[in-house]
Structures are given as C-alpha cells and as structure tokens.
Amino acid sequence: MDDTVYLNGSFMPSAQATIPVLDRGFIFGDGIYEVIPVYSSQPFRLQEHLSRLVHSLDAVRIRNPLDFSGWQAMITRLIQENRAWKDQSVYLQVTRGVAPRDQAFPVPDVEPTVFAMSMPLSTPSAELVASGVSAITALDIRWQRCNIKAISLLANVLLRQEAVDHGVAETLMLRDGWLTEGSSSNVFIVHEGTLLAPPKDQHMLPGITYDVILELAEYHAIPLRIGAVSEAQLRHADEIWLTSSTKEILAVVSLDGKAVHDGRPGPVFRRMYALYQDFKNQVMRPR
C-alpha cells in the first residue's frame, strides 16, 4: 500500500506527488519544516509544534499558508489516511515557492509550496533505553540561526553522517567551547543530581521535547538549572541525555569513546524516562 501525502491542497499517493524543479526549496533549501510525533492517532503537543512552525515562517518571511484550524484539519486527515500505522511521525514542509532562480525573494510574491507526509514512528526500543547509546563531539559548523527549523540542513547532514561513520548514535556540537545540541536532538547533562540545560538561543532549536522535560523536572522538583554548558562540564557529566520528538529521551553512555560516569544510564535519566512515558500515556493513549 502506498502512503498518502499532502501537496498544495490535495491528498495523493506519495509516488504521484511532484514539484517543479524551480521550487526554491529544491534550488536554495529556502523553506522550513516541522516533525510532530503522533501516538494512537493523536498529534503530541500540536499547538506547540504549530507555534514553532509559525515562528520559523516569520523568521524567514514566508507567508503562513494555512491558519491553525487549516493545519489541524490537514494533519488530522493525513493521520487518518495513514492509520495503518498507530504511531506516526508527521513531517510538514513549507518552501517559498516556485520562481526563476534568483536569491532575492520573488516579486511579485508566489504561493508557498506546502507538503506533508507521515512515516511510522519508531521510538527507541526498550533495550536501547536500558543500554544507552554512544556519541561523538564535533565543532558546531552551522549558521547563527539554529533556532529556525530550516530545511537547509547540509551541516546537520554532515554532522549526523560523522556519527554514522563512527558507528555511534549522535554527534554533539560544541561552539566556542560551549555545548549547543545534537545534529538532530537537544542535549541535557546531569551534574551531582542537578539537570543542566543549555538556554534557548540562536545556537539551538527550541525543542518541543526539551520543553516537556523542563516542565516535568519543575513539576516533580528535580533540581534544574538552565545555563550555558561548557565542554569541560559535558566531559565530566554524570549523565548526558538526548531528546527529540522521535528519540524521546535517550541516555548517552559513551562520549568520544570514553564512558560517561559508569557507562550506564543514570538514576536521573531512569526517573525522567519513566515520568515522560507516564505523562505521554496519560495525555495520549485512550484509556
């Protein structure tokens, strides 16, 4: 069975969805995207994902092609069309549209290209959660607007491939000696029982999962400090975590070939993982 996608107002099999080669997304990577996890056919934190989408559109001055209820209706139908998968990962993309090749914005304005697809959501297995994963570090070679969820991801692609080449799960990035994030995840560390989170700024994507972790930490009185994390703090951390919509929370147990603490997911991770699953099941899974 072919999966159903959405393109510019219509639903169709993915094999039939085509865009003109002069689309600025194809030519310049001129567009933005979102990834929304869907559990038991319900999008998780839809409002927050759509707010971040609007923030990304505003930041690059692309007109929002749909209002909130328009996005919601489209996403609901897309999930329904792909209901063979109980848990899904919905991908939304908006580009500036199709125009003769010129870096400047098209004049007159053109219609943005709107594309959405869904994929099966495969969260990390119980074994991976229990064992943790390995990571490497690299210089953050990206631009200064990492808070925009832009489709121009060449630096992230190269950084993620470095992880694959080293046989590890993720590349953690350092900019001027400070931890920013992973190639496709946010990063937290734990030091003597306190959770440390890099602050939301132009050097990292404001993760929706990151916010859920902060909320859970506050609600359950887990000591928390939001502030810049140095390379030394990262290398001496008791625990390192990755968070994202598709990874949820994963412990990093080896960094650049060296064990993180005792090389096993730590107690604060195990507690937060359980809190996250409880929270998710409470809000997402029908009783």
In angstroms, give the least distance from the CB of 13 to ligand PDD. 23
Candidate list 205, 216, 229, 272; residue touching ligand PDD; CB under 6 A: 205
Contact 13, 214 (CB under 8 A): no
Binders of ligand PDD among residues 163 to 182 (CB under 6 A) are 181
Beta strands in 103-235 (DSSP E): 113-120, 133-139, 170-175, 178-182, 186-191, 194-197, 224-226
| Residue 51 interacts with ligand PDD (CB under 6 A): yes or no | no
- Residues touching ligand PDD, count (CB under 6 A): 14
In angstroms, give the least distance from the CB of 26 to ligand PDD. 18
Question: Two tokens at 176?
Answer: 């001027």
Residue showing tokens 């195990």: 270
User: Which stretch in 53-61, 126-134, 159-167, 239-247 sits in contact with ligand PDD by CB under 6 A?
Assistant: 239-247
Candidate list 117, 208, 251, 255; residue touching ligand PDD; CB under 6 A: 208
| Residue 207 interacts with ligand PDD (CB under 6 A): yes or no | yes
In angstroms, give the least distance from the CB of 35 to ligand PDD. 4
State the Cα–Cα distance between residues 29 and 20, nearest whole angstrom: 14
| Residue 56 interacts with ligand PDD (CB under 6 A): yes or no | no
Residue 280 among the catalytic residues:
no
Maximal C-alpha separation, the chain? 60
User: Which stretch in 16-24, 103-111, 159-167, 240-248 sits in contact with ligand PDD by CB under 6 A?
Assistant: 240-248
Whole-number Cα distances in Å, 237 to 5, 180, 276? 43, 15, 22
Binders of ligand PDD among residues 124 to 163 (CB under 6 A) are none
State the Cα–Cα distance between residues 274 and 281, nearest whole angstrom: 11
| Residue 97 interacts with ligand PDD (CB under 6 A): yes or no | no
| Residue 35 interacts with ligand PDD (CB under 6 A): yes or no | yes
Nearer to ligand PDD, 3 or 264 (CB): 3
State the Cα–Cα distance between residues 246 and 123, nearest whole angstrom: 6
DSSP code string of 197-253: EPPPSTTS---HHHHHHHHHHHHTT--EEES--BHHHHHT-SEEEEEETTTEEEEEE
Residues taking part in catalysis: 149
